[in-house]
Amino acid sequence: MINPLSSSHMVNMEFISNAMILSFSILLLLPSASYSLYQKPENHIKTAIFVIGSFEMGPGSIATKTFENIKFPKGHVGIKSFDAELVDQEGNSIPSYETYLHHWFAIKYHQNITMSPNPKLRRPEDAFFQRNEGTCNGGILPHYWGFGVESRGTTSKIPDPFGIEQGNPTKIKNGYEEKWLLNIMVIDTRGAQDKKACTQCRCDQMNLPKDFYNVTRDIHNQKLTTNYKGGLFCCQDNLQCKQIEGFQGSRRMVSLRYKISWVDWNIYQIPVKVYILDSTDKVRSNGSKILHDCLAEYTIPATGGGGDSPHVQKANIPMEKGGYLIYGTAHMHSGVVNATLYGQDGRTLCTSTPKYGTGKEAGNEKGYLIGMSVCYPQPGSIKIHDGEILTLESRYKNEFRTGAMGHFYIYLAEELPQ
């Protein structure tokens, strides 16, 4: 496996599996504090807002960036929420019909405190992922938090007394320190010939290099074929969506603003484990060993009319460890109908449904996905058992679509409040 802190990189999808690290620039803007409503005992919830970037974008441009060593709460803490959105140089929210946030992923890694600042002198053991508990293979979907265009309307808040435990010194190897990176993909659709196709990273809508298919490798490190019609590989950094002839638009600086809330860890906090499941997971077995093959994205083929029935992408995913379901939601793209996670007995564990915008303001853009619903079952009411096989179904409108995603996020607790 490529060193996760290597300076080499090809495309965003290769980052998801191998974590290429680029330069970073971070600015702390607005720390604040508030208090939880949970009173036994009173939790002191701290909140901070950060801005990462910034980078310049013009009409039709694509930016895929990775920022390492981002600002993150220090010490042994329980994260209560992690939210993000795109802003311009004045700090104004940018509407999705101008600049489309394809995704942002927050990923934890441990770094040797003696690691050289020179990438050429770094060793494989100098840094490595600390991925979520999800079932995907290798470095696929290793993040703890991350959404896309739906970010502004999808809450990540965890109810008290639960939290995502981070910075536990007993889980950090001696001589290492815990750090975080952010990977983002942003698409400026101003002046695009086909905005919808541009946000889907449709290859025929991009100004690709002439040798694109000769030099690009897929998620399995195989040569990309011309059958690949769209997705992350066609949204490489500095590529361009095809523009309307004669369109003129200004360039501007774009940043990601993120907000984290947390509590200092104590005996009253109950940890939840983060599982990110993928509806493309092709599960197979090798003797007694379960093998996963997540693709992270997929194409919905043209159906010649489609009809009213949605396209369904389905995966049956065995869970080595279970727990009590505390939170559930899905990361999907525009055109989503819903995503549902089922238990082995067919019971519905959580269905996440979309909300589409009706206006012009950022966060309510007409026709755009602006949020996915979240499940908060009564703690203890839904339990996933060790070894249970879950079924994940992601549903989109039945029409040609590239770069579709069906990621389901669940937070599981192994114990409940007394």
DSSP state string for 373-403: --B-PPTTS-EEPTT-EEEEEEEE-SS-EEE
Give the pLDDT confidence score for residue 320 in this predicted structure.
Answer: 95
Could you count the other beta carbons within 10 Å of the beta carbon of residue 347? 8
The per-residue pLDDT string of the chain (418 residues; one tens digit each, 9 = 90 and over) reads 333 333 333 334 333 443 333 222 222 233 333 323 333 444 689 999 999 989 999 999 999 999 999 999 999 999 999 999 999 999 999 999 999 999 999 999 999 999 999 989 999 999 999 999 999 998 899 999 999 999 999 999 999 999 999 999 999 999 999 999 999 999 999 999 999 999 999 999 999 999 999 999 988 889 999 999 999 999 999 999 999 999 999 999 999 999 999 999 999 999 999 999 999 999 999 888 999 999 999 999 987 655 789 999 999 999 999 999 999 999 999 999 999 999 999 999 999 999 999 999 999 999 999 999 999 999 999 999 999 999 999 999 999 999 999 999 999 999 999 8
Give the global pTM: 0.89
73 cis-preceded (ω within 30 degrees of 0) = no
β-sheet bridge partners, residue 164: 79
Helix (H, G, I), strand (E, B) or coil at 125: helix
Would you state the structure tokens that stand for residue 164, as one six-digit string?
């995502």
Rounded distance, CA 38 to CA 40, Å? 6
Domain that holds residue 386: 46-52+60-413
Question: Exposed (0-12), middle (13-18) or buried (19+): which is 360, by Cβ within 10 Å?
Answer: exposed
- Note whether residue 40 is domain-resident: no
First to last CA, the chain: 43
Give the pLDDT confidence score for residue 305 in this predicted structure.
Answer: 58
Would you state the structure tokens that stand for residue 338, as one six-digit string?
């819903």
Helix (H, G, I), strand (E, B) or coil at 41: coil
- Note whether residue 25 is domain-resident: no
Q: What is the torsional sign of CA 130, 132, 138, 141?
A: negative
Give the pLDDT confidence score for residue 304 in this predicted structure.
Answer: 60
- Is-contact 144 274, C-beta < 8 A? yes
- Note whether residue 105 is domain-resident: yes
Domain count, the chain: 1
Among the listed residues 336, 291, 287, 323, the one whose alpha carbon sits nearest the alpha carbon of residue 414: 323
Give the pLDDT confidence score for residue 287 in this predicted structure.
Answer: 87
- Note whether residue 15 is domain-resident: no
- Note whether residue 161 is domain-resident: yes
- Give every CB contact of residue 20 below 8 A, 6+ residues apart in sequence: 2, 6, 7, 8, 9, 10, 14, 66
- Note whether residue 336 is domain-resident: yes
Among the listed residues 123, 99, 262, the one whose alpha carbon sits nearest the alpha carbon of residue 180: 262
Question: For tokens 């069906």, what's the residue?
Answer: 406
- Is-contact 339 406, C-beta < 8 A? yes
- Note whether residue 13 is domain-resident: no
Q: Which amino acid is at 23?
A: S
Helix (H, G, I), strand (E, B) or coil at 235: coil
- Note whether residue 337 is domain-resident: yes
